[in-house]
Structure 1
Amino acid sequence: MAAQSAYSVHFGTDHREFLSEALPVGDRWLNWRNLDDHRIRAAVCWPFQGVLFDVEANAFWPASWGEKPKDEDARRRVVEARVGLWPQLVPLYGHRYLPADPHGTRAPVLSVYQTDVIVYGDDLLDYLHHEFRPGEHSHATRITASLLPPWTLFAFGHDIP
């Protein structure tokens, strides 16, 4: 898919199948057919930028990362190195994200706002019902903190490695 190359993302199985059937556009949907869209580029960078913001503005610094450097550039390098090892998140809608391949099918949908991460759907179908048909989300979540660390660790309030 051309969008994967243009934006350096790897759509997960569910995300790819969804986009092959429908490409919702408007409001907070992204038009993946537009191969030079600043909104998509910003959305792809959003999870990293959010972690970096919390490091700089909200005193976020996991103990497992060692001593926090005093220099802003050094802190950024540590964040880049650490977050660069985490599973890539691909924008779905607004600040809702799906994990990139190779997660497989039935990947969780996460709401990502800085280091505030919430499981918004056990999978894409559950998310669509939850977001766009609120009364239909009634079963207990199957997602655990260990499913997509460290993103789901945030969601469950655990320490970040």
Structure 2
Amino acid sequence: MYIPTDLTEFLYWIKERTEMVWSVDDESCCPKGFYGAKWQGLTDDQIDSIETKYDVKFTSDHRNFLKILHAIDKKEIVEYEDEGEIITEECTFFYNWLENDDEILETMKEPYKWLWYDINGINNVWLKSWGIKPKSLEKRKEIFDEWFSHVPSLIPLRGTRFAVSDEYLLWKPIVSMNGSDVVLMGWDFRTYLLNELRNHLDIYIDVFDEEDQRFYPEIIDEVTNIFSENFKYDETKDIPYLKEMIMYWSSGWKTFGLNYHPANAKVHPIVKTYIAEEEK
């Protein structure tokens, strides 16, 4: 399979491949809610207007994504069980900047709220660069607010996924956030979209397991190799200020192609990499 390396070609490849998958009325290949779905790209004028309205600045790669893909004209159907009852909900897939004003505005506030909650919640997050942890809640908030003011803008894509908006970064990372647990989805839009849309791209093959005597789906080698290459260690990979938060938990080290192993541990659980000294 040929997966374009040029971003523009790749985005059109995503558009063609996903819409082809969604054109088949069969839930074994077309995820629920996506039958007949089409991408809705934006014009340059629309993107300029959105930047003014929301006071955001899209990177050139993000603008390219918005012009070719942006959002789809269908809702995602999500089913889950609650106390024995199957609940079905319609959810926004990628945010539509022309329609999802309330969702977008609320989501733009979430990174601050999530991180601040983890600082004062059960996780007691405190970064090394912040120094000794003050007893005063007011002082802790002052230190956090100063730090957060330097974090690059995080622009919503879908759910808890955010594009790091800094045109001057060599890499263009996309992250997923849940409190202080910040996970990298890809160091560029190409890797991110292959990761996010893996169930919409027909990029799996069935591989027979001799032990279980059954077939299991595995991502094709071309995509696996792209993931492996994208997440390799490279000293140029950085997300100003947010990098320290990502690496605060041992699982975050993989984002930068590193490994963290607590001393003398046979099993390596996700642990804090720094325990703050607190005021007496």
Between stretches 77-86 and 3-12, larger displacement belongs to 3-12
Between 1 and 2, higher relative CO (CA 8 Å, sep ≥ 6) is seen in: 1
- Which of 162, 165, 175 in structure 2 is aligned with 1:100? 165
Please list every run of at least 4 consecutive aligned residues from structure 1 whose deviation after the TM superposition is greater than 4 angstroms: 143-146
- Which of 24, 37, 61 in structure 1 is aligned with 2:71? 24
Q: Tell me the distance in 1 between the aligned counterparts of 2:124 and 2:108.
A: 23
Q: Give the 3 Å change call, closer, same or farther, for CA 4–69 of structure 1 in structure 2.
A: farther
Asked if 1:52 corresponds to 2:116, the answer is: yes
Q: Output the TM-score relative to the length of structure 2.
A: 0.50
Give the percent of matched residue pairs that are identical in Structure 1 and Structure 2: 26
Q: Output the TM-score relative to the length of structure 1.
A: 0.82
2:141 corresponds in structure 1 to 76
Q: Tell me the distance in 1 between the aligned counterparts of 2:233 and 2:189.
A: 13
- What SS is found at the alignment partner of 2:177? strand
1:5 corresponds in structure 2 to 52
Letter matched to residue 70 of structure 1? K
Q: Give the 3 Å change call, closer, same or farther, for CA 105–149 of structure 1 in structure 2.
A: closer
Letter matched to residue 2 of structure 1? S
- Which of 150, 166, 190 in structure 2 is aligned with 1:125? 190
- What SS is found at the alignment partner of 1:29? coil
Task: Look at both structures and tell me which one has the larger radius of gyration over its CA atoms.
Answer: 2
Letter matched to residue 24 of structure 1? A
Q: Give the 3 Å change call, closer, same or farther, for CA 2–101 of structure 1 in structure 2.
A: farther
Q: Tell me the distance in 2 between the aligned counterparts of 1:142 and 1:89.
A: 23
Q: Tell me the distance in 1 between the aligned counterparts of 2:194 and 2:163.
A: 15
Q: Give the 3 Å change call, closer, same or farther, for CA 147–106 of structure 1 in structure 2.
A: closer
Q: Give the 3 Å change call, closer, same or farther, for CA 138–32 of structure 1 in structure 2.
A: same
- Structural RMSD (CA): 2.5
Q: Is the 8 A contact 1:10 1:100 kept in 2?
A: yes
Q: Tell me the distance in 1 between the aligned counterparts of 2:168 and 2:141.
A: 27
Q: Tell me the distance in 1 between the aligned counterparts of 2:145 and 2:175.
A: 21
Q: Is the 8 A contact 1:106 1:124 kept in 2?
A: no
Aligned positions, number: 158
Q: Give the 3 Å change call, closer, same or farther, for CA 93–105 of structure 1 in structure 2.
A: farther
Q: Name stretches of at least 5 consecutive residues in structure 2 with no aligned partner.
A: 1-47, 76-91, 200-218, 247-251, 254-259, 261-272, 275-280
Letter matched to residue 83 of structure 1? F
Q: Name stretches of at least 5 consecutive residues in structure 1 with no aligned partner.
A: none
